[in-house]
């Protein structure tokens, strides 16, 4: 990064510090991952110089001969990978993608029904602090208080009551596989469109270790980072009949010209996700998640739903007599990075909740397997048991650094 160093030493130094942090810490944030060097290079390529309002073959600016081919490659690869009839790859991120999906089919005040934010839903599924909760009549369903899982009979009853125009299936902190057929049946019964937000598990779908929502949903939104290991972007996949409405909602509905450097990086990530090695990767993600969940449960941690089917788990720390925020801060000092998170029926405030959320995407990308998951479980148990023991935290941080040194992070191998 000599050019950055010569132009802006301060930014150069900060980037180097972040590189070192990502290389030497155990990253368990469920929405983070490592991208390949190829994806990194595409995001920093000359494609960032372009402006390309419109769609392939229908641009408002000239000079799009190369850009059209790049965008079409990304579209074709997404169609092939997921079996989708229509794909829009221009969305800047997951939240704008969800808003575009609403714009395509709803008017202000129309009803949407999604999983409540404190129960694992996303801000854009109707939270009152989000535009989705301010512009629409946002209704929610919750997890069953007895099982901590989705109760499809209850969701059906809720849909009958509120009659949503869009029924949303998807989550940001639910550790179980969704039953897309049941959601489809509920949508059909109540006259709703079914929208699935697979931002968290899209890579698991691509790797064929998680059921696909494509055969059941009218609209599917997803980010391109997280489990897909691509750049920070998003896609909307839908039935062919909805393609024109989706495209119009994305541009000019909620955004201007696409980020062509991101589109190229998405295309690369989709090519990588079609490989056999990516299937192996996603299978290991699920194995690692299950082993870590089992280890934490054996050490007395209370896991929401009792375990996990995907890459993430949500842990209620109430029985450990520590808040999620306090635990997350202590773990971060020990080199273990995750986020504090509300749990269903949480009695604490969102900024200092009872739980933590963790996932296995990033650690699996750097080659961690079952033995390392057991070790991570031991680290977490140790820190949560004594969050103010500075000596023990410092010792754990050294062990974390040593462990990470044996598993170079993708794209950061030069730091080993």
Amino acid 251: pLDDT: 98
Quick one: 323 and 307 in the same domain?
Answer: yes
Amino acid 416: pLDDT: 60
Quick one: 341 and 320 in the same domain?
Answer: yes
Quick one: 268 and 290 in the same domain?
Answer: no
Note whether 191 and 163 are within 8 A (CB): yes
Catalytic residue among 71, 142, 197, 309: 197
| 55 assigned to active site | no
Using alpha carbons, list the distances in angstroms from residue 287 to 17, 53, 256, 284, 367.
31, 43, 41, 5, 13
Catalytic residue among 79, 232, 271, 287: 232
| 226 assigned to active site | yes
Binding site: what residues are annotated?
117, 121-123
Binding site for (6S)-5,6,7,8-tetrahydrofolate: what residues are annotated?
117, 121-123
Choose one of 244, 273, 302: the last residue of a domain: 273
19 within some domain: no
Catalytic residue among 32, 51, 60, 156: 51
Quick one: 112 and 228 in the same domain?
Answer: yes
Quick one: 81 and 99 in the same domain?
Answer: yes
The number of folded domains in the chain is: 2
Quick one: 251 and 298 in the same domain?
Answer: no
Quick one: 263 and 343 in the same domain?
Answer: no
142 within some domain: yes
31 within some domain: no
**Six token digits for residue 259:** 């980020």
| 223 assigned to active site | yes
Ranges in the chain, pLDDT < 70: 416
| 239 assigned to active site | no
Catalytic residue among 222, 223, 282, 308: 223
| 110 assigned to active site | no
Positive or negative: CA dihedral 118, 94, 221, 277: negative
Quick one: 284 and 383 in the same domain?
Answer: yes
Quick one: 137 and 190 in the same domain?
Answer: yes
Contacts of 363 (CB under 8 A, 6+ apart): 26, 27, 28, 288, 372, 373, 376
Amino acid 352: pLDDT: 94
238 within some domain: yes
Quick one: 253 and 385 in the same domain?
Answer: no
| 197 assigned to active site | yes
Quick one: 287 and 245 in the same domain?
Answer: no
Choose one of 220, 246, 273: the last residue of a domain: 273
Choose one of 273, 292, 324: the last residue of a domain: 273
Per DSSP, helices labelled H in 163-306 are: 180-190, 202-206, 243-248, 260-273, 276-298
Catalytic residue among 32, 53, 294, 399: 53
**Six token digits for residue 111:** 């009803």
pTM: 0.96
2 within some domain: no
CATH for 205: 3.40.640.10
Neighbour tally for 413: CB within 10 Å: 11
Quick one: 165 and 93 in the same domain?
Answer: yes
Catalytic residue among 59, 77, 226, 357: 226
Domain span at residue 292 reads 277-415
Dmax (CA) for the chain in angstroms is 63
């Amino acid at each position: 990064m000599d050019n950055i160093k010569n132009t802006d030493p301060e930014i150069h130094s900060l980037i180097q510090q972040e590189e070192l942090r990502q290389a030497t810490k155990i990253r368990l944030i469920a929405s983070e991952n490592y991208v390949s060097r190829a994806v990194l290079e595409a995001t920093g390529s000359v494609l960032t110089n372009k402006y390309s309002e419109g769609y392939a073959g229908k641009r408002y600016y000239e000079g799009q001969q190369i850009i059209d081919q790049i965008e079409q490659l990304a579209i074709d690869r997404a169609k092939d990978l997921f079996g989708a009839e229509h794909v829009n790859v221009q969305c800047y991120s997951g939240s704008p993608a969800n808003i575009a999906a609403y714009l395509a089919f709803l008017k202000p005040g129309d009803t949407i029904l999604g999983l409540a934010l404190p129960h694992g839903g996303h801000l854009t599924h109707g939270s009152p602090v989000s535009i989705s909760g301010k512009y629409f009549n946002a209704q929610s369903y919750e997890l069953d208080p007895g099982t901590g899982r989705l109760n499809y009979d209850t969701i059906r009853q809720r849909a009958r009551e509120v009659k949503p125009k869009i029924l949303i299936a998807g989550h940001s902190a639910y550790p179980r596989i969704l039953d897309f057929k049941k959601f489809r049946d509920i949508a059909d019964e109540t006259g709703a469109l079914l929208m699935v937000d697979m931002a968290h598990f899209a890579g698991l779908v691509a790797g064929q270790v998680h059921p696909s929502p494509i055969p059941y949903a009218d609209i599917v939104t997803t980010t391109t980072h997280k489990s897909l290991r691509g750049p920070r972007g998003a896609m909307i996949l839908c039935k062919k009949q909805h393609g024109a409405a989706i495209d119009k909602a994305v541009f000019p509905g909620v955004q201007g010209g696409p980020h062509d450097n991101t589109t190229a990086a998405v295309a690369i990530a989709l090519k990588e996700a079609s490989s056999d090695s990516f299937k192996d990767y996603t299978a290991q993600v699920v194995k690692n998640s299950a082993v870590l969940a089992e280890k934490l449960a054996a050490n007395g941690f209370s896991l929401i739903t009792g375990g996990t089917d995907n890459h993430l788990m949500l842990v209620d720390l109430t029985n450990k007599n520590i808040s999620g925020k306090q635990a997350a801060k202590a773990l971060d000092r020990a080199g273990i990075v995750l986020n504090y998170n509300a749990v269903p029926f949480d009695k604490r405030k969102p900024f200092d909740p009872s739980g933590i959320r963790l996932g296995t995407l990033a650690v699996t990308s750097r080659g961690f397997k079952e033995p390392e998951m057991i070790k991570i479980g031991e680290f977490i148990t140790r820190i949560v048991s004594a969050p103010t023991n500075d000596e023990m935290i410092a010792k754990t941080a050294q062990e974390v650094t040593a462990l990470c040194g044996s598993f170079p992070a993708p794209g950061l191998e030069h730091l080993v």
